[in-house]
Chain A
């Protein structure tokens, strides 16, 4: 078997082999004649665009208009574009696999691989005016760039087709004929053009005005017939003359491959793909590890392990001999087999190597199975995408460079959603990076199909996606809105669980009410405010106010906002709502606002009226009383030259009493129906404050106190008038007497009262106040208690 494997190897120089193997038999066999077409293929096994070469005369078959056909790498047609625009100078693919068609007027038309027109950008006015004669598309740091050469021999550059910013490159003075050759060099962030004029070499930058010759003079060795030359890794150059293909290394040694029809060379990072009418082949340097295993007479551990595995399958004892040879290096051997399997395109070769690795693994007790498992998974994925139907002939090196993520993206672009999801699941990618993201892409694709019914699309999407984590319905809805499918967008946005994404989009789509409802549902008041302020600024005021009254929470928030920012609006709304109580409160606040000193009375009156309208009689009466009080207080101020205005009824009465204006106080008290209890308190407290003890005594005898006589004792004590306090003690309620005697420090009397009432609890309480100083009394109480308790 290994003999067969090395059959397509060709040595080139020392210890280097090149191999050429078929990837696909092209499905386009009968459709394409590579002789008279221009062909552009995307790297990483991307799609191939083919258009009739306008420089060749052939029999026109259907229409006069050129047709760009797009094929997969396996030659299946994906789409075609009937070209109606100007003359195509150059075709190429961007790094995101969009087709770039450079027209002679400097317009670059961008299509996706399904022939859907995406957009156009221009290479500038000068390019348009003078027409372009040549163009090149190159990979730049941040995507894909375009350089064009105009008929006035000036170069224009766009570094990234996603953000086309046209820059002119330095001019070469005295250029009267087209440059003999030029190419684009893109390194780091700088893009330069290397141009040859005759034997002069120029390096053109966009930062310079004029370019000057650089480097040594070259003698041009470009043969006329040598059509394309491509690097094949770093080891060799591949070139072809019509049907002869040469691989040339640095020493000038070469390998010669013959073809019976014209071929196209497609460079890749690790080899060159050769495209002919019938086959799609790959020429690459044989990877070192593959060489180590399969080279004839190899003594590498991997080679022995493979042999051991083969013998084992043949049930031969020689298996053991081979294993013994690599006993100490089994780890290396396994690794080599695993790695080599990755470089094979043929599944049977992969399987042979993987089997060897598995066999070797079983001899190493604690080997890390991770690389083995990973390779098996990777191979399954690679084989799946290499399938004819999918037609992405990726090598493992390319895949590692792209990453699985990008591979999935590429499958998504090809609308292989199902396969992408299966791969994501198989690779156990987190949903957010894997299946959910793919589903979201699928949904975005779905919404763009404008012919489908929107109800159905929305339902299908929701069915598939459900509330899958990581799916952004707002993204999908945005796509739909971008396609002009506003209604569908609105339907879809309904599925977005994150209100913070949902609401702004709804607002943008002009869905005022739904955005308000969603904002309210979210409970996020910040969102509600955003919607409210947006609506307020974009709606007639009256309509806005009518709208929000249907949403109590929104209205409350708006009112709260107005309270701080727009008082006038507040009154408007209360007016409109006939909310008289709130209006009254509004006026009340106004009447107390120090900024409004002139309209105090008027505001209070308005408040009263509003309370009347609200049938809040109590509040209205209180307002009225307040009005009266204020008036009366003003007259008092005039009379006594003291501050009265602003005092409460209670404090006014108190102040009058303190001024000894008992009559006035009585009058006021009667007018405002101050209850007896409170008035008595007022009298007692003010008389005590005035130290008018005789008057207090008199007052106590005017009639029976509605509040008892304890307050009399208390006020006297407050001012340390023990003797005065004694006057009222007899009138204190019986059950409080003990307490009050104690307050006065009259322990014996307290004891007597307690004994009289046969109250043991009270006696104990008295005793607790005795302390150490009244030892005798304490003892007496003990005796009394003993007496009382035994009697029972």
Chain B
């Protein structure tokens, strides 16, 4: 079990272990040497469950991305070829192509298998039948892995397009998967007594859970370890999804993008003095970012302005630790020092790494561009100048700044103004089409259809919500914060405010007015245990565990804010976060964009 996954009251390592066993069981069905052909979106996440070394120990000799092209000849001797794929028809097309290649090669006949993640799909099987390759497959299995463990309090389903599929295409597949994921967690950690939620997706998932519980009755779940479940549909809080995060981890993601807890940095900044500089300048340095790194665990959730002081304090501490050796007198003391040495060296290396990363970030956050854009964001959040064409956005368009950045600001303006005047919106749209090209017309339509851009109606819910939920907090200390608003320096994520309210003594009672202002229905339900008994109050525990499930994606700032709430001294709540995908503004908008032609400039 990986240590960085344990530690919480809900042991995420159990989830990893469960899936790992399942994967190895499936692999062992295919006897002999194996090669895996991965659905590109799965290789990374599955790596969080079973590292390559483990797969190699289980006779996986080679891995390839699923491209539909002929595999290199070096795999000729491998006995099994396993396709691991999401149940999507476009991917099945690639599988079929691979199988056709296999059939053409007359020299070797190996066994072909297909593992679906997370569920078998009849439609896909039918598709393979029509392609005439279904019969060639020996094993068709289901690797029911819904959640990939990221950290001791964080799991992601890695479904990139969940929001788009549900809100734009009206395809609720991801909701079914979310419900299955929660059911899977309940199998390990017990039936969650109380379910809360906001938004259409949340309601839908809750209904599906009830249905699934009925379908699967008769299994005895363990004692509940999670006390409450909070389902949040991303559409309830779109602003947070777009806002620039100002936490350390959030900024790393914003600038270098984190995938499956790993980020790539320009390698030349990390070269050590004794290495030849310019050895391999093009290569990126890969760094795994999770709580196994003590220092990172400490600073990841801090506002970036608090990271510098922490790093310099650490630096002093470590150097003083190294200095201590001069003070050591006896052999005994020396021995203790030597014993501590590996840990100190690791801490030092980690410090060097994060200092470099922090420098890289600082270069960007000090730029005028970043500061002006941030200032505009914060003006919008505070409700300043939201109702007219904003000169900064205009200048950005005029200078052809990246379209994503412009769209992000535009959507934020639309949200904070609860929609724009038709004239203003049309002006912006026209400016974008004229500058970035007509091919973005469908992107704009998509943004309008999911409500990120819209024409104003009479009511202005954002203004009311901002006051009632204290979404903007001025003069909050970034270094020693007392409120979650530190994650965006001004703005407290609405989603996390809802969670905060839920665990406050009054709960959501008396919040009906506020909840009414948010889109979609509110969910407040209790679940019964296997014997049909009410579970609430069965076990008064010291610390309450609340699982927050973001349907449609969750940002690093939200994770940090929830962690901040868990770690507060007076807190008796522990949050565990699940999401369909860890997102940031760019990723979120990108999933909704639909350019008609690939523009080289954007």
Contact = CB atoms under 8 A, between A and B. Distances in A.
Interface stretch (A1-9, A64-72, A567-575, A669-677): A669-677
Nearest to A682: B398
A553 B172 contact: yes
A560 B169 contact: yes
A469 B434 contact: no
A481 to B, nearest CB: 21
Given A523-B179, A648-B434, A649-B434, A498 B398 contact: no
Contacts of A618: 426, 429-430
A462 interface: no
B435 A678 contact: yes
Nearest to B170: A556
Contacts of A677: 391, 394-395, 398
Contact of B122 (A530, A585, A685): A530
25 contacts: A430-B218, A431-B218, A497-B214, A523-B204, A524-B176, A525-B171, A525-B172, A525-B173, A529-B123, A553-B170, A556-B171, A557-B170, A561-B89, A585-B445, A588-B596, A591-B596, A646-B437, A647-B437, A648-B433, A648-B434, A648-B435, A648-B438, A649-B434, A677-B394, A677-B398
A525 B126 contact: no
B436 interface: yes
Contact of B434 (A430, A431, A525, A674): A674
Interface residues of A, number: 56
| 5 closest Cβ pairs, A-B complex | A469-B218, A681-B398, A556-B170, A592-B596, A648-B437
A526 B172 contact: no
Nearest to A553: B170
Interface of A: 430-432, 467, 469-470, 497-499, 521-527, 529-530, 533, 552-553, 556-557, 560-561, 564-565, 581, 585, 588-589, 591-592, 618-619, 622, 625-626, 629, 646-651, 672, 674-675, 677-678, 680-682, 685, 707, 711
B441 interface: yes
B399 to A, nearest CB: 6
B397 A678 contact: yes
Interface in B165-184: 169-173, 175-176, 179
Given A526-B123, A533-B123, A648-B434, A622 B399 contact: no
Interface string B312-332: 000000000000000000000
Contact of B89 (A530, A565, A646): A565
Contacts of B207: 523
A177 to B, nearest CB: 55
B442 interface: yes
Contacts of B123: 526, 529-530, 533
B179 to A, nearest CB: 7
Residue with the greatest number of chain B CB neighbours at <10 A, chosen from A470, A565, A622, A646: A622
Contacts of B436: 648, 650
Given A556-B171, A564-B90, A588-B442, A707 B395 contact: yes
Contacts of B90: 564
B288 interface: no
Contact of B218 (A432, A526, A588): A432
Nearest to B119: A526
Nearest to A496: B215
Contacts of A681: 395, 398-399
Residue with the greatest number of chain B CB neighbours at <10 A, chosen from A432, A556, A560, A678: A678
A467 B211 CA distance: 12
B217 interface: yes
Contacts of A524: 176
Contact of B441 (A530, A588, A674, A678): A588
B222 to A, nearest CB: 17
Interface residues of B, number: 47
B305 to A, nearest CB: 15
A618 B429 CA distance: 9
A592 B218 contact: no
B50 interface: no
A497 B173 contact: no
Given A581-B445, A646-B597, 19 more contacts: A432-B218, A499-B215, A523-B179, A523-B207, A523-B208, A525-B172, A529-B123, A556-B171, A557-B171, A561-B89, A588-B442, A618-B430, A622-B430, A622-B441, A650-B436, A678-B398, A678-B435, A680-B398, A682-B398
B215 A498 contact: yes
Given A522-B211, A619-B441, A470 B218 contact: yes
Interface in B415-440: 426, 429-431, 433-439
Contact of B435 (A470, A557, A649): A649
A467 B170 CA distance: 31
Contacts, number: 119
Nearest to B595: A592
A505 to B, nearest CB: 14
A431 B218 CA distance: 8
A240 to B, nearest CB: 52
B584 to A, nearest CB: 26
A526 B87 contact: yes
Contacts of A646: 437, 597
A675 B442 contact: no
A469 to B, nearest CB: 3
Contacts of B391: 677
A714 B436 CA distance: 23
A650 B438 contact: no
Contacts of B429: 618
B600 to A, nearest CB: 10
A497 B433 contact: no
A560 B90 CA distance: 12
A177 B123 CA distance: 64
B400 interface: yes
Contacts of B121: 526
Given A469-B217, A585-B442, A674-B434, A523 B176 contact: yes
Contacts of A561: 89
B175 A523 contact: yes
Nearest to A563: B169
B62 to A, nearest CB: 30
B146 to A, nearest CB: 14
Contact of A672 (B126, B398, B434): B434
B596 A589 contact: yes
A686 to B, nearest CB: 12
A685 B435 CA distance: 14
B141 to A, nearest CB: 16
Residue with the greatest number of chain A CB neighbours at <10 A, chosen from B175, B217, B426: B217
B435 A650 contact: yes
A614 B426 CA distance: 17
Contacts of B445: 581, 585, 619
B482 to A, nearest CB: 25
A54 B123 CA distance: 61
Nearest to A555: B170
A747 B207 CA distance: 66
Contacts of A522: 211
Contacts of B218: 430-432, 469-470
Contacts of B434: 648-650, 672, 674
Interface string B213-225: 0110110000000
Contacts of A529: 122-123
Nearest to B122: A530
Residue with the greatest number of chain B CB neighbours at <10 A, chosen from A592, A648, A678: A648
Given A432-B218, A530-B123, A592 B433 contact: no
Nearest to B168: A556
Contact of A678 (B173, B204, B394): B394
Contacts of A430: 218
B134 to A, nearest CB: 15
Contacts of B433: 622, 648
A467 B430 contact: no
Contacts of A564: 89-90
A86 B170 CA distance: 66
B395 to A, nearest CB: 7
Given A529-B123, A564-B90, A592-B597, A650 B170 contact: no
